[in-house]
Structure 1
Amino acid sequence: MRARLPLPFVAQLKHLMPRGLLGRTLLIMLVPLVVVQAIALQIFYGSHLNLVSRRLSGAIAGEISYTVDIVQRLKDPAEREWALQLARNEFVLDIKLEPGAKLLPQKRINILGPEDDDLAQALTERFRVPFTMDWTSDPQSVLIQLQLADGVLDVKAPRKRLATGTIFLFVGWLVGSALLLFAIAAMFMRNQVRAIRRLARSAEAFGMGRDVPPIRPEGASEVRQAATAFNRMQDRIRRFLAQRTEMLAGVSHDLRTPLTRLRLALAMLPRTEDLRDDVTEMTADVEEMERMIGGYLAFARGEGIEQAESVNLALILDDVAAGARRAGTELEVNVPAELTLKLRADAVRRAITNLVDNARRHARHVVLAAAAQGRSVQVTVDDDGPGIPADKRESVFRPFESGSSGGTGLGLTIARDIVHAHGGEIVLEDSPMGGLRARIRLPV
């Protein structure tokens, strides 16, 4: 069976992964690069460098062993000095003998690299006597002391004969090349991601109904293709909205002409006892038809060509409340003095007016409230009416699905379209007043 990683480890690994495209792409490029260079370093360090270091250490230990053998065979001090001088000249070792001296214990200090370990191993194999090494006192030499039977042998070996400087050059090349490649990749990927982010911002702004200029295609061919497709989509949507608005405006005009003639004809009829009730009812029907035509036109027009700008939402809500009070509605307003955000004022006024009108048709008391919540503003319309069952709250947002008699079935539809066009959301909930709550969230 194939082994699987534990779920907590996978979740933690996903949590550590970068969220953005730039970070993930650079991680995908950096991890294989680091792994490859680590393998190359291990191959070099584990084979070539160790082999060279062992050979250099073995050569030094062999030269010292050869010198010690000669010195121990000679008993005359002059001959011993001649042998030590010969070793200095031939082996380039500063070597001398201290007769009768005793080797003092010394703490070994490890250095970076295998040189000290390899030299210690070579001396151990060559000599069966105590010895010490000092790699830190002299930056140019390595100080070696060996305890012989008749004294201490001091050897000062040149560090360059033991150190393999290529390791630092190799590590520097690995790190430098990795950083250079990473910087180049980050620079190019940043340009590609910048184009994608610009496309995302433009799409978000256009989805919220803002006037977005065409995007200049740049970056990789796929990103250019996406930007070009977005520009074409934007043009098609604008043409479609303009054509739909013009068509509905023409239909509305054509329908209002005969309705106007009917209104004039009804106004010219004599107000006799027999006709007064009929004329009143027919006049109300004509007004209802005009109101329905206006609602259909508003639904088709959507938000029109109005551009978003920074406005005080509190002033809009006060205007809506004033209109509802003029219509005889008992309405309470709980709104702070300042709620500034970027939106289309007329469209938002229409959406909230539709919600308030829907509430006042079914309730005696309505409460309009608003408050800032983090990076959004929440607007609520509460009433004490009968409310709407939970299983029917989604259906009332559909066009022509009026929840009451006398409505066009477009009020909530228009309100939701406007809120969604601003990047917000609208939901229907149970109200603390016992009726229905319409809650709107608008991003700041």
Structure 2
Amino acid sequence: MDATNPAPLETAPAPLEMRPRRGFSLFWRTFFFLSLLLFGSIVAWLQTFRALESEPRAIQSAQQLASLVNLSRAALRYSDSIARVSLIKTLADEERVRITPREPKDKYELFESDELGERTAEELRARLGGGTVVASSVNGQKGLWVGFAIDGDSYWLLTDPSKIGPSRNSTWIIWLITAAILSLAGAAFIARLINRPLKQLSFAASRMRDGDFDASLLDEKVATSEIREVNIGFNRMAEQLSKIEQDRVIMLAGISHDLRTPLARLRLETEMSVSDADAREHMAADITQLDAIIDKFLDYARPEPPRLERVSLNAVVDAAVYAVADYEDMRVTVTIPDDMAVLADEVELSRVIANLLENARRYGKTPETGIALVDIAAKARDQWVLIKVRDHGMGVAPETLSKLTRPFFRGDAARTAATGAGLGLAIVEKTIHRMGGVFGLANTGSGGLAAHIKLRRN
């Protein structure tokens, strides 16, 4: 075994290092579609309201202005020069209407600032004649200017632009922003209300996946009938799975325990009654293998959750490597930074490393030398520690990788040269999941199988 000159591991990214695809949660997707629907409805409603309200408002404003112009025109036409001056002064003081002569050199801007202004100007020209001019400023002075003629003389009538109505753009924007904010708040509330049962169901399913059946119970008294039925069905399923899990544990533990006694008795009888040393050695080896298989059953049936604490990865790996140091058919290389610690159960993690080393020794021997060359490496990434245990054997078929962690599954003949219970990798995966980690298997580019472990960094 060589632990001082580590060989370089594969440089290709491990499956556990690849970042998962980011996506929208169900809450944000529901919120987005509700907001889009509400915002579209608000815009459609505003446009419809403006279209239905603009025409009557333009006609009413044009009628008022036309009446004001006609009254001013009639008063000026039938009054003498002295009375005309007094009339103009009275209109300016009391009605805020100023009448001035219109000069050919006057510079003006047409009153067509928005849809309402254009429609009002058209209506005024239709009522007062084609020569009527509606302007927003004359010679730089802002206001509502209406140009008309009296017996060939041209005049300007200046009045308050509010007679048509205040500028509507800012009003509509304020209403639109207010409605949008209220709609977004309502959409967020509705989305949260809709997705709350799904979030609770997702949490309960995750707890059930980790074996915590008691924490996975859902409320069976919710008001919504469909959700209540789903919760009741989920709880009954959790109860059945819990019972099945308990029965499985009791069955495996009982079988394993009951087999231990006859095996011990058989070992004793073999040692005492078999005279042939070679036969006695083979029979003892078979009994030892059966005893090891029983240990695998007990490990797989262990129901207690692990106790997570700060564990020195260096110490765990060194202990596991020391246990196989005397094996002549195995060489282990370790590449782990100093003071590497993970959040795990020390006993469980030791069992995981031991199982992986045993699996590599059995099935990962190099075809040329018949020796299992095993590389163990680890590195920290963000809040996780990535551990890699690989051999330099023949690997496995790609379609077999996902099946290797199934209980009692055997791979192809290349990796089944030794006998066993078929529980080693299943125990490893189950143990890693119980410690809140991730476990995966992959073939390496240069040959051999690599086991990838992802545990929380302490």
**The two structures share one fold, judged by TM-score above 0.5:** yes
TM-score between both structures, scaled by the size of structure 2: 0.73
TM-score between both structures, scaled by the size of structure 1: 0.75
Q: Distance in 1 between matches of 2:96 and 2:235?
A: 79
Contact 1:195 1:223 in 2 (8 A): yes
Letter in 1 for 2:57: V
Gaps of 5+ in 1: 1-17
Deviation at 1:260, TM superposition (A): 1.5
Deviation at 1:233, TM superposition (A): 3.7
* Aligned residue in 2 for 1:323: 323
1:280–1:29 distance in 2 versus 1, CA, 3 Å: closer
Q: Distance in 1 between matches of 2:453 and 2:230?
A: 30
* Aligned residue in 2 for 1:382: 390
* Aligned counterpart in structure 2 of residue 25 of structure 1, from 4, 25, 30: 30
Q: Distance in 1 between matches of 2:125 and 2:28?
A: 52
Deviation at 1:226, TM superposition (A): 4.2
| TM alignment of 1:304-343, pairs within 5 A | 304-307=303-306, 309-312=308-311, 313-327=313-327, 329-343=330-344
1:31–1:278 distance in 2 versus 1, CA, 3 Å: closer
Letter in 1 for 2:359: N
1:78 matched to 2:90? The reply is: no
Deviation at 1:341, TM superposition (A): 4.7
1:289–1:50 distance in 2 versus 1, CA, 3 Å: same
Contact 1:371 1:378 in 2 (8 A): yes
Q: Distance in 1 between matches of 2:31 and 2:58?
A: 37
Contact 2:39 2:183 in 1 (8 A): no
Contact 1:256 1:290 in 2 (8 A): yes
1:243 matched to 2:243? The reply is: no
Contact 2:109 2:137 in 1 (8 A): no
Deviations 1:172-219 (A, max 9, x none): 666645543542342243244344334323433442456872455368
Gaps of 5+ in 2: 1-22, 366-370
Q: Distance in 2 between matches of 1:215 and 1:165?
A: 60
Letter in 2 for 1:20: S
Q: Distance in 1 between matches of 2:201 and 2:276?
A: 65
| TM alignment of 1:343-354, pairs within 5 A | 343-354=344-355
* Aligned counterpart in structure 2 of residue 163 of structure 1, from 149, 162, 165: 165
* Aligned residue in 2 for 1:438: 450
1:96 matched to 2:99? The reply is: yes
1:198–1:57 distance in 2 versus 1, CA, 3 Å: same
Q: Distance in 2 between matches of 1:248 and 1:116?
A: 88
| TM alignment of 1:173-212, pairs within 5 A | 176-177=178-179, 179-209=181-211
Deviation at 1:60, TM superposition (A): 0.7
- Taking only the aligned residue pairs, the percentage that are identical comes to 22
Matched residue SS, 2:421: coil
Higher relative contact order (CA 8 A, sep 6+): 2
The number of aligned residues is 413
Deviation at 1:357, TM superposition (A): 0.8
Contact 2:401 2:442 in 1 (8 A): yes
Deviation at 1:296, TM superposition (A): 3.0
* Aligned residue in 2 for 1:427: 441
| TM alignment of 1:239-278, pairs within 5 A | 239-269=243-273, 274-278=275-279
